[in-house]
Structures are given as C-alpha cells and as structure tokens.
Amino acid sequence: MNARRHYSIPLPQRAPLLLGARTLVMGILNVTPDSFADGGAHVDLDRAVEAGIRMAADGADILDIGGESTRPGADPLPEDEELRRVLPVVERLARQVQLPISIDTYKARVAREAVARGASIINDISGLQYEPALGAVAAETGAALILMHTRGRSSGMYDLAVYDDAAADVTRELGEAIGRAVAAGVPREAIIVDPGFGFAKRAEHSYEVLARLDVLAALDRPILSGPSRKSFLRVALGDREPSAREWGTAAAVTASVLHGAHIVRVHGVAAMADVVRVADRIRGAT
C-alpha cells in the first residue's frame, strides 16, 4: 500500500488539524428526527450534548454536527429550522469539549452562524454545488472545508449514478469541486475531500471507490471516508437496519484506513476507534 501523505489543516481559533500520522475518528452527531442511522436519538439538546461529550470520551477526534437528513429521497429542510436545531448544540459543545467541531451543512448562513459559535470545519455534502456562496463563508471565516462528491439532489441522485470508471470519475469531479473552492478564495491547504459513499452511487460504485480509495491521492488533499452504516453494506450483509451494520462498517473502515483515508466518519465511535487503532498498526507494519 502507498505511504499516506501528511497534512496540516489550518483551523480558526485553534491549533491546526494534523493528518497522516494516524487515522482520525470523526463522530457523527445527527440532531434530526429523521436520521437514517439513529432514528432521531439526539434531537433533544441535552441528549445531543451528552452524546457529543460521550463521543469525545470514547475516542473521537472531531465531532460532526448535522441538522438536516440528506439520505436519498429526503426533503430539504428550511434554513431557520436547521439553525434552530444545530446552533445550540454547536455552542454548548464548543464550550464543553476540546475537539474541533464540524458543521454538516450545505447552507452558507448555517455555516457562518455555526463557525461564529465555535465550529471550525464546514462539511459540505454538495461539493459547493448547492450553495456556491458557502465557499466564500469558508474563505472569510478561515474554516476548513470538506468537499464531498455527489451528483444532483437527494430526490434524484440515483438517476445520475452512471460512471465509466467510478473511482476515476469521482476523483475528477472532486478536482472540479476543489477548483470551485479555490476560486471562491478557500486556500487549497484548508480543503479535505470525501468520495461520498452512497451519494449518486449504486452499491457497486461505492465498493469500487472504496477498493480504489487511494486513487484520490492524486488530488493531493487529505481523504475523509464515511461508510458508516450506509445502505451499500446491505449487498454483503442482507437487508438489515442501519444499527445492525456495525460489523460491516468495521470492515469498510478497515479498508478505508488501509487504502489511505486520513479521517473516518462513524456513528459508533467507541468500537470504530478500536478498529482504527488496529488498522493503523497494520498500515504501519507494511
């Protein structure tokens, strides 16, 4: 396997995020009643904050807070409702944990308000396709920017899941997303890329991209991998509820690490932190 490059990602109001020496664990904190993976377990503010604190204790390196479900077929969430859901959680966790906080949103105003309350990373599932103004927010605030690959909106993304070479096509389109971000004023060194498993990809595409994740290294940006509990795992596991896909997630997380991911985004932080530790040892032994 190829050596994993090291990066230093500047963050506002805190030390840079150092990537490459070990794989970082990003804990997913959904504060939405219709999350595909956890059924709205963290909608209540106190429960959401408790969950974030628990993730930090369980080994998370980053907390990713999102207020809108972006599963295939989900309806868009009004901006005011997203702000109502996420801002109190961001503000309280920024005071109570020492970890960088990521705001999972494609909306410029939500990102700006979240960074003002302590978030230092913007996680955009659209790769600056839904709200191009989000790039200017990242540039002005100094927040790091995660660009995920997708095509179209949630309602019709599978109609666009046609690839000549999934890994190469995803890499090329992420390169275009990087171009959009740089044109908006985002420093290249502040950008992280995510292949977007399950987004505008059928199961076979997600498996192909995962197996060839190291192709993304050609972009010379750190790689975030988010296979946790995704529907593509059902091809191997059968028709199980998302919460019953943790062993499959562990396999996908291991593959992510071995193929060069710098960050893995997961729901079950405690278990996946153990998986990452072992996978990192395997990488280091080669």
Residues recognised as catalytic: 230, 265
Scored b (16 or more CB within 10 A) or e, 183-218 reads ebebeeebbbbbbbbbbbbbbebbbbbbebbbbbbe
Alpha-carbon gap, residue 283 to 3, rounded angstroms: 9
In whole angstroms, what is the distance from residue 198 CA to residue 203 CA? 7
Instruction: Please tell me the distance from the alpha carbon of residue 43 to that of residue 59, in angstroms, as a whole number.
Output: 22
Contacts of 275 (CB under 8 A, 6+ apart): 250, 253, 254
d(CA 282, CA 274): 13
